[in-house]
Each structure stands twice: as structure tokens, then as C-alpha cells.
Amino acid sequence: MENFFKKVFNELQGSKKILTAVLTDIESEEISENLLGEMFLFDEEGIIEFSSDELENELERFFLNADLKNQILAVGEEKNTDSQLKEINLDSDNKLEFFLEPVVDQPHLIVFGAGHIAEPLVKICSLLDFSITVVDDREEFLNFDRFPTADQLLLLPYSDYFASAKIGDNDYLVIVTRGHQHDYQVLKNVINSEAPYIGMIGSSRKIKTVYDQLQDDGISEEKLAEVHAPIGLDIGSETPAEIAVAIAAQIVAVRRDR
């Protein structure tokens, strides 16, 4: 399967939309259970690659019926980028279920803290093609009622988040936790990451407190100077929504190399 994933990666370098299909369920006497988890890569024009010859053979056997193929390929033409389960009735005795999803190279916004700034920020950034994760350990703030456009909500202490997550060069980080001790903890974990954007909210007094602590930990002044704090472009924001606009604008500027 290794070569299959390399092929997907190479195809992703192009600009067209590509999708993968994973075989997630088989209801059939004829088709081997061993094919579960096998995949194929496709775009709106057709299938590009299979992860196994066996899957290819089985599908070709049934795909002589062009309707079935069209059912899957139609998903490639859809505008929305959400994933979906697709049941395919090969014939009356054979049914397959595929999980279809686009392969995406979206920038990823991670918001630490689910408070009153995060709420408008997530709304705005979901219009800017970011996939969005919000992390907080407070159940009453972190839910899809408040963040209907978030892709992922993680209810965890920040320390648990960093135990398993690795920040990469496609991650944009906004630190808006409920207190400077949490801001300090998050910033300490991400300051040496490859994140192209790290912004932290706070008054200049709070920012100084956090920076002093980090300098005591051996973080250099140059590193701290890369952090966007106070956060956001200076547009005279007053309300949470206005602050969110300023932060979003700053993130766009960094993403577009301004």
C-alpha cells in the first residue's frame, strides 16, 4: 500500500481535486473480506490508481456496468469537500460500501481557548478555507452549538493535546485561553515549532509576564519577537467580533506572505 500513498501524494501536487475511496464494508459471498481497507484514487475523469490488483479485478468485473462507476465518479464533481459513505449495489447479492473523501492540503487553524474571541474567529476563518480545530478543557464552552463550522473540537487539558499532537508548518496557532498561565503553557509548547503563525492575545502587561517566564525557561528574545502579540492587525478593534476580524486579517497576511 506504500506505493499507493506515494501516488496519492504525487497527484496532490497538481491543482485538480482528487479523492480516495476506502472499501469499508462488504456484503457478498463472492468478494473476499480481505479486501476491506483497500482503496482507490480517483478524480472526476476516472480512477487513477488502486491499492491492490485484487480490488481492481473485482471492481472491473462489476464496473462493466458503467452506471456503478458513474455513481462514484459523480461524487468527484460535487463542489462540497465533505466526506461521505456510499453504498454500491453491484447486483442483488453483492453490496459494497465505500468511504469517499477528498485529499486536501488545507491550512489548519488551531485555536487554544474556546472563549468569546474564539467564537467569531472560527466563524470568520471557516470562510477562509482553513480546517479548524478548537482546544479547550471546558465542556460548557466547547461544543458544536457555539462552533458549528469547526472541523474538530478537542476537549482536553492543553498538556494532553501536546502529548500527542505535533505542530507542523501548515498550522496557524491562535492562543486565546482563559488565563496567562494557560497562555504560557501553550506558548511554551509551540514556540519552537514550525508554525508559520503564532498569535497570543493579552494586554502588554500580561504579554510581558508570559515572556518573562519563557525567558527564564531559556527562550530567546528573537523567538519571542516572532510571536504576534498583541494579536491582530491594528484596526482599532473593540468588540470580540472586531478583534476576530483583526486576527483573521493578520493570518491571511502571513499566509499570503505580506
List residues near other proteins by CB under 8 A: 1-2, 5-6, 8-9, 12, 20, 22, 24-25, 33-34, 36-37, 82-85, 99, 101-106, 108, 131, 139, 142-145, 148-156, 160-161, 164-166, 168, 170
- Judged by beta carbon, residue 52 or residue 209, the one nearer other proteins is 52
- Judged by beta carbon, residue 190 or residue 214, the one nearer other proteins is 190
Taking the complex as a whole, the smallest distance from the CB of residue 56 to other proteins amounts, in Å, to 16
Taking the complex as a whole, the smallest distance from the CB of residue 211 to other proteins amounts, in Å, to 29
Taking the complex as a whole, the smallest distance from the CB of residue 82 to other proteins amounts, in Å, to 7
Taking the complex as a whole, the smallest distance from the CB of residue 202 to other proteins amounts, in Å, to 25
Distance from C-alpha of 235 to C-alpha of 242, rounded to nearest angstrom: 8
Q: What DSSP designation does 153 have?
A: E
Distance from C-alpha of 62 to C-alpha of 94, rounded to nearest angstrom: 10
Taking the complex as a whole, the smallest distance from the CB of residue 19 to other proteins amounts, in Å, to 9
- Judged by beta carbon, residue 150 or residue 245, the one nearer other proteins is 150
- Judged by beta carbon, residue 161 or residue 211, the one nearer other proteins is 161
Distances from the Cα of 17 to the Cα of 11, 101, 163, 234, angstroms: 9, 11, 33, 37
- Judged by beta carbon, residue 157 or residue 212, the one nearer other proteins is 157
Strands 46-50, 84-91: pairing is unpaired
Is residue 176 within 8 A of residue 118, CB to CB? The reply is yes
Strands 94-102, 19-27: pairing is antiparallel
Q: Which pairs from 140-143 meet CB under 8 Å and 24+ separation?
A: 141/114, 141/115, 142/114
